Structure 1
Amino acid sequence: MDHDQNYKNLILDYPREALAFFAAAEAQAIDAGARIVPVREEQLKERLGERFRELDVPLLVEWSDGRRSAILFVLEEETDPKRFSIHRLAHYCLDLAELFDTERLVPVVIFLHPGSYPEQLRLGSENRDYLHFSYLSSALFATPANQYLDSPNIVARLTLPCMDFAPEDKLAIYAAATRGLMELEPNPERRLKYADFIDIYTALDDNELKRYQQDYAEENKAMTALSVRFTEKGIQQGMQLGRQEGRQEGRQQGEAELLLRQISRKFGPQVAQQHEAQIRQAALDSLEHWADAILSAESPDELFE
């Protein structure tokens, strides 16, 4: 699973909210008049060459009225603390500071899993330090989820499953993240995109999913309705693609992909994985039948009978 890319997308889709949550100590001055601009990868690749790091996210914060000098935030997600290199991060920050001709730079590291990692780097002798480097650490695994259950910050709500909570609260955390998505994100396509994000990091098993559907019927109904809407839209797009290409393959692939999404949401990702090969190899009429049947099917056996 590409956690780096998942978090990069999250930060790029919600840069203001990401800074407010992951870099709260430095983000207080970012008011409504500030403009947050993701630094283009092409610019970094051209100027940094091999030193370019694709999955880090530099965000430039500017004030058009000149009240404050621009400041560069560098956000890095680190799934496994053992892989984190403070030397590499320091190198990268120095490169960016030179590239943008600035001394105003804030490095932020988001840790998903517990482990040991250096919090600062000091180079020098017994007489004095000649280089001191540190960064803002956002340890999601140690962040109390119950403090953000009703947060108005969508990044905080979406990352609830990555925070610290008791195992018996798992379904409540999933529900709070889902409610946050529905309340704070008006765009239907982003809702569907980050419903998948929540699913990935909550990782409900089949039994937990059934309990969730029973205990949180309202939240489940809202997300199911959204999935159905996009299933229908995807089928239409698949049909159009098939017509454009003069063959059925586009439609078949579109229906298969969306049916797998529906099965994952209704019966759990394990069921979707078990039937993935069958679905991808199925004829179009079978896919159409299953797409209709899943709306009323109570079990995978009933769906595929």
Structure 2
Amino acid sequence: MAEPVSHDQNFKNLIVDYPEQSLAFLAPDEAPKAGDAVRIVPVREEQLKSDLRERYRRLDVPLLVEWKDGRREAILFAVEEETDPRRFSPLRLIHYCADLAETFKTQRVVPVVVFLRPGAKRGPLTLGTERRDYLWFDYLVCALGDMPAADWLDSSNLVARLNLPNMRAPANSRVDVYASAVRGLLDLERNLSRREKYIEFIDIYAGLNDNERRIYRERHPKESNIMTGMFQRAREEGMQLGRVAGERTLLERQLRRKFGALPSVVDARLSNASVADLEAWGENVLDADTINEVFNPH
């Protein structure tokens, strides 16, 4: 049975990996401008509790933006991804933002809500009576499910290109939208590990069927071959990591059975070992009288 998709984690990774482009796409009115010298730091997601019985108030990704030249005061962006608009609660978001403001002693907080599906709930929210309003709260909305993909097909913003499959598009253009997302990743990201990571992001949200994938391969053979190579490398790396983990677990069991609890220096050494090292040490266990002789045989 396939594991459910963790949309929160997917978007958290995306925003942490590409903070400047994320803010430029999700919150263009408040984001740093091109050329601004800024420092963007993800801050802890779980804010301090005033009482141990309270639940942690959790944000997807709070980002602290600091202008190095001091032209603007620092801003906290409270970014929340909401898959189903019906589950979104502006009251909960008020709590999040108030916690951030209190924790970081600032009133410069920008709430940003990313709606993955159509039907975004827009603000403002007002609390009060027929006589007057006592609380007014608004937030920026990035309504992916309502955005026309056609407007972003040639964007130079990588975060926008990766999210093309989440945008609104006619059913007969799904392959073209997918192709533009892949082309954007290949053109705008040179890091091979990031490419492998975010080709999976595109695949998850595009959800092409077998026929659509066949059409894509026929129309875009060059990009399709590059993707095939990336998937093959990812599979091989996964198999290698699985083999390393298996050898490490086996050796740890052997060492504990013979020598008892392992010192931290041994744990660290095992964690950084190759398959060849682990296999060699495993052969040494039988003849070793001390744990040191496992790693340094006579």
- Of the three residues 87, 99, 104, the one matched with 2:103 is 99
The aligned runs of 1:13-32 (5 Å cut-off) are: 13-29=17-33, 31-32=35-36
Residues 22 and 147 (structure 1), Cα distance of their counterparts in 2 relative to 1, 3 Å cut: same
SS in 2 for 1:26: coil
Q: Give the structure 2 partner of residue 149 of structure 1.
A: 153
Q: Give the structure 1 partner of residue 280 of structure 2.
A: none
The aligned runs of 1:232-271 (5 Å cut-off) are: 232-246=236-250
- Counterparts of 1:233 and 1:116, CA distance in 2: 39
Q: Does 1:86 align with 2:90?
A: yes
| Long gaps (5+) in structure 2 | 252-298
Contact 2:45–2:62, Cα closer than 8 Å, also in 1: no
Look up the equivalent residue of 1:5 and give its one-letter code. Answer: Q
| Long gaps (5+) in structure 1 | 248-305
Contact 2:59–2:78, Cα closer than 8 Å, also in 1: no
Deviation at 1:51, TM superposition (A): 5.0
Q: Give the structure 1 partner of residue 14 of structure 2.
A: 10
Q: Deviation string for 1:242-286 (max 9, x for gaps)? A: 444448xxxxxxxxxxxxxxxxxxxxxxxxxxxxxxxxxxxxxxx
- Counterparts of 2:247 and 2:9, CA distance in 1: 33
Q: Give the structure 1 partner of residue 167 of structure 2.
A: 163
Q: Which runs of 4+ in 1 moved over 6 A?
A: 46-49
Contact 1:51–1:92, Cα closer than 8 Å, also in 2: no
Q: How many residues align?
A: 246
Residues 27 and 230 (structure 1), Cα distance of their counterparts in 2 relative to 1, 3 Å cut: same
User: Given the two structures, how large is their TM-score scaled by the length of structure 1?
Assistant: 0.75
Residues 148 and 47 (structure 1), Cα distance of their counterparts in 2 relative to 1, 3 Å cut: farther
Q: Does 1:187 align with 2:191?
A: yes
Give me the CA root mean square deviation: 2.1
Q: Give the structure 2 partner of residue 75 of structure 1.
A: 79
- Of the three residues 160, 172, 177, the one matched with 1:173 is 177
Look up the equivalent residue of 1:218 and give its one-letter code. Answer: K
User: Given the two structures, how large is their TM-score scaled by the length of structure 2?
Assistant: 0.76
Deviation at 1:139, TM superposition (A): 0.7
Contact 1:39–1:60, Cα closer than 8 Å, also in 2: yes
Contact 1:63–1:69, Cα closer than 8 Å, also in 2: yes
Q: Give the structure 2 partner of residue 226 of structure 1.
A: 230
Query: Percent of aligned positions with the same letter in both sequences?
Result: 54
Q: Give the structure 2 partner of residue 255 of structure 1.
A: none
The aligned runs of 1:21-60 (5 Å cut-off) are: 21-29=25-33, 31-41=35-45, 44=47, 50-60=54-64
